[in-house]
Amino acid sequence: MQKAMTIAYPVGKNLYLNLTNRCPCACTFCIRTMSDGAYGSNPLWLEHEPSMMEIQAALEKVDVKAYEEVVFCGFGEPTERLDVLVETAKWLKAQGVRTIRLNTNGLSDLIHGQKTAQALAGAVDIVSVSLNAGTEQAYLEVTRPKFGAQAFAAMQAFAVDCKAYVPKVMLTVVDVLAPSEMTAAKALAQRLDIPLRVRQFDDAAARRDG
């Protein structure tokens, strides 16, 4: 008998979607190394990546319109399945969902080998990109992306590109950054003209990358 998978799980007034366990990063603070779930959810490790039919079936079991936001953020990087993400977001829009947010490490362009922000147009309302640090060296030490040094610049470029296609874009860092890194992160966000959200550590660990 096939085990049930956790595709959708509530977090306060929001509904989170878990589409993949794949991720190009190995962040030092990743919740996957500390727990099998987040915010008291069932285990978020997927037996297989859910199809659109399975995703829709999971979402039809809940009142998606009742949530303030539907958030793509699970035990993997959502843009690893960019086409499915966009198709799911547009399906949710058709169901009357008010706000759709993507929590991402911002490496979608490197994952797919091309510019990808335009794909989010009309599907996603908010993109939250994990900055994680204010300097390249600290970013690489904390995020440990498989793409190496090019990841820091690619993440920034993706965030800037999103401004042309998504109503709201933000960068995020965790409040445990060293003062010098926090200062650098604020300066970088200002240069990119993107708001910076500083998250509490517990919140960051529970959300994994958002």
Structure tokens at 126: 């908010």
- pLDDT, one tens digit per residue, over 156-182 is 999 999 999 999 999 999 887 789 999
- pLDDT, one tens digit per residue, over 22-75 is 999 998 877 766 655 566 556 677 999 999 999 999 999 999 999 999 999 978
Contact 114, 161 (CB under 8 A): no
Residue 176, pLDDT score: 77
- pLDDT, one tens digit per residue, over 106-143 is 999 999 999 999 999 999 999 999 999 999 999 999 99
CA distance 143 to 191: 21
Contact 63, 9 (CB under 8 A): no
Higher pLDDT, 148 or 5: 148
Residue 210, pLDDT score: 41
Residue 40, pLDDT score: 56
CA distances from 118 to 5, 10, 109, 122, 152 (A): 30, 28, 11, 9, 20
Residue 208, pLDDT score: 39
Residue 204 has pLDDT above 70, yes or no: no
Q: Residues 6 or more apart from 199 whose CB is under 8 A from it?
A: 172, 173, 174, 175, 207
- Secondary structure of residue 76 in the 3-state scheme: coil
What is the pTM assigned to this prediction? Answer: 0.91
Contact 167, 191 (CB under 8 A): no
